[in-house]
Structure 1
């Protein structure tokens, strides 16, 4: 369901539609790119398209698996910091990072299925927050990074 299909639906359906749209958009920024293009640094920071998708995967796991699901980053095998979440390992590929992203999305859907937006998530190290807040934070991050990814992709394709 697209966001314009949900204009009269309930809040949860609308939030799900927006999150799913941005999940799809960020993943498609790697479509048709070579491994070199996906790893190419075009800005002074270490940000790359592959690194952005890796970070967004980490971000969703932190908010849904840690915060809502109650698992620790150590138990989840997650790096500890935002900066580390962008780092690309030698064995990371477009296929492997994309698969990890899809898996994180599927796990997030399973974790929140049936939970009301008023559910208080207590697993995040910064303290409790509602599931509604988690959705909004994830949506903000996805939209923010989709913008970065779109610009990086435009630069890659222009060269």
Structure 2
């Protein structure tokens, strides 16, 4: 297993928040690594949710909150009124490695946005209500933790892998 990021207990707020998010992201990657696409898709819930779809959703959620909402970048987002859950859907031909690479790319882009921000109180460029970078980080910690739990259960059902 790859070494997990350390979450320091005595660091400043930005460091603790970003390290916590990094730790959770690594848990998601760990759970999705080495999974066969067809087996992952075949282990979907009744609603169609599957392990790789969860990771793809997290990638787009990173893109939405950090790049689109906070930084104001014009980036492609997959969902629409017609297909509101398109971010959970795996494109044909995408492997687990493709999904993980996409997630890592979006996480790196998010990290660059956070690093460039002057402070955690800085407000999102595109949100209707005042929303700080601090809120975005906490929201992404919650979202990633929730879906890391889903990934943990999916992986256990796929091949019995348990633990962090």
1:92 is displaced (CA, Å) by 1.6
2-side partners of 1:42 and 1:64: how far apart? Answer: 28
| Structure 2 spans left out of the alignment, 5+ residues | none
Q: Find the counterpart in structure 2 of residue 78 from structure 1.
A: 77
Q: What is the RMSD of the two structures over their aligned residues, measured on CA atoms?
A: 1.5
| Match of residue 88 from structure 1 | 90
Residue 2 of structure 1 is aligned with which of 2, 6, 22? 6
Q: Deviations over 1:70-128 (max 9, x none)?
A: 024xxx1211355111011112211211111111011111111142101011223x433
The structure whose residues are more often helix, as a share, is 1
Q: Residues 124 and 130 of structure 2 are in contact (CA less than 8 Å); yes or no, is this contact kept in structure 1?
A: yes
Superposition deviation, residue 155 in structure 1: 0.8
Q: What SS class does the counterpart of residue 32 from structure 2 fall into?
A: coil
Partner residue, 1:38 = 40
- Alpha-carbon distance between aligned partners in 1 of 2:153 and 2:95, rounded to the nearest angstrom: 21
Instruction: Normalising by structure 2, report the TM-score.
Output: 0.86
Task: Say whether residues 1:146 and 2:137 are aligned partners.
Answer: no
TM-score, structure 1 as length reference: 0.89
- The aligned runs of 1:6-85 (5 Å cut-off) are 6-72=8-74, 76-80=75-79, 83-85=85-87
Q: Aligned residues, how many?
A: 152
The ranges of structure 1 where at least 4 consecutive aligned residues each deviate by more than 4 angstroms after the TM superposition are none
